[in-house]
Structure 1
């Protein structure tokens, strides 16, 4: 009887092992899906960067980068976004230590820095429009608004996403699912910081030099 019980136990374990391989963990599939999405974003931004580099000299007789861009404000924006990447990293460290309140607090602070970044970007766009530098003024400005605006849109999506994660953390706590969600939004946020470094270098630094 004991032998039969051992055989049944082994068979059940084998079946469960096979089922595990036939049906991959849903969290792993979601993480894999996010990586695929991130790769498509890399292609999108790569295309916009290429278009901007090609079109930045086509000002149609209007103002160019050196006449429009005010580097001081952009440096402040860059500092805010890079600081938000640091606080996002602190949030992940707090999560790994099981500190729920610290995790929520650092995510909220990250969102505040991101919102300040968006506020400065909106202010920059409004200033440019008041100067007559609209999206339809030249090919250069069309490429500029498309590239920088797309990045800003992604930051806004990240802020909404982060707010949703904070709300879920407050109600559910640090569960395996929530850990995956925090890691995912953290990766997305760091990705936006890397893209911004390229924007800062290619659009603004090269534009005023």
Structure 2
């Protein structure tokens, strides 16, 4: 059996079992680097992948925070203490405009990154500016909504429901505001520094952040506003 190479085959199989990193790498000499494995002569992952992965971890932590606010709203939804309930604070026409502005800003944000990939500074700036204006419109409409409610005496301290409502919606509005400031900074960096590698990495992170805010808003629009009017 030794002439057929069977013992050598068994020995090779044993080495593979001891080193799981060799699985699927048949044909490569032992100790030779394997492209895409992230070790050996191929080196670590690219900076773009590392930055994207790290920012995804940040986004997940942010989503956990939003989940807590969603849970608080679900618990406090009926804690009105005889005061205004969901139907009394919801103005669907205004909220529909807010939703349209934010979703459209997500579209222009995606177009801006397509222009970034094409290394077209003009269209990148145009689409980023459109994203900023739509985001600003959303924040102003939401602020107007809060001011209108406050003028009617609908404030967070009035009931558990209102505390949860203002907390959840206000937290999202704060994120959009911070995102707008970040966007203005990125526009200035693109104009001054162009499409350097680190600038593109930051634009990738901004796109992830802005699209995540849209996803959170869809949850708010559905749970807080739509379900509030039909309950």
TM-score past 0.5 threshold: yes
1:195 to 216, 226, 229: 216
Give me the whole-angstrom Cα distance separating, in 2, the residues matched to 1:68 and 1:39: 30
CA drift of 1:139 comes to 0.1
Match of 1:144 in 2: 165
Match of 1:92 in 2: 113
Match of 2:90 in 1: 69
Match of 2:130 in 1: 109
CA drift of 1:27 comes to 4.6
Match of 2:80 in 1: 59
2:189 to 168, 177, 194: 168
Match runs of 1:9-24 below 5 Å = 21=43
Q: Which one has the largest radius of gyration?
A: 2
Give me the whole-angstrom Cα distance separating, in 1, the residues matched to 2:119 and 2:180: 23
1:133 to 154, 158, 165: 154
Deviation readout 1:93-151 (Å, 9 max, x if unpaired): 11111111100110011001000000000000001111111010000000001100000
Instruction: Calculate the TM-score normalised by the size of structure 1.
Output: 0.87
Counterpart of 1:76 in 2: which secondary structure?
A: helix
Whether 1:83 aligns to 2:104 is: yes
Q: Relative contact order (C-alpha < 8 Å, sep 6+): which is higher? A: 1
CA drift of 1:29 comes to 3.4
CA drift of 1:25 comes to 4.9
The Cα RMSD (Å) is 1.5
Q: 1 or 2, which has the higher helix percentage? A: 1
Match of 1:12 in 2: none
Gap regions ≥5 residues in structure 1: 1-16
Instruction: Calculate the TM-score normalised by the size of structure 2.
Output: 0.79
Gap regions ≥5 residues in structure 2: 1-38
Match of 1:13 in 2: none
Q: How many residues are aligned here?
A: 192
Counterpart of 2:119 in 1: which secondary structure?
A: coil
Counterpart of 2:55 in 1: which secondary structure?
A: helix
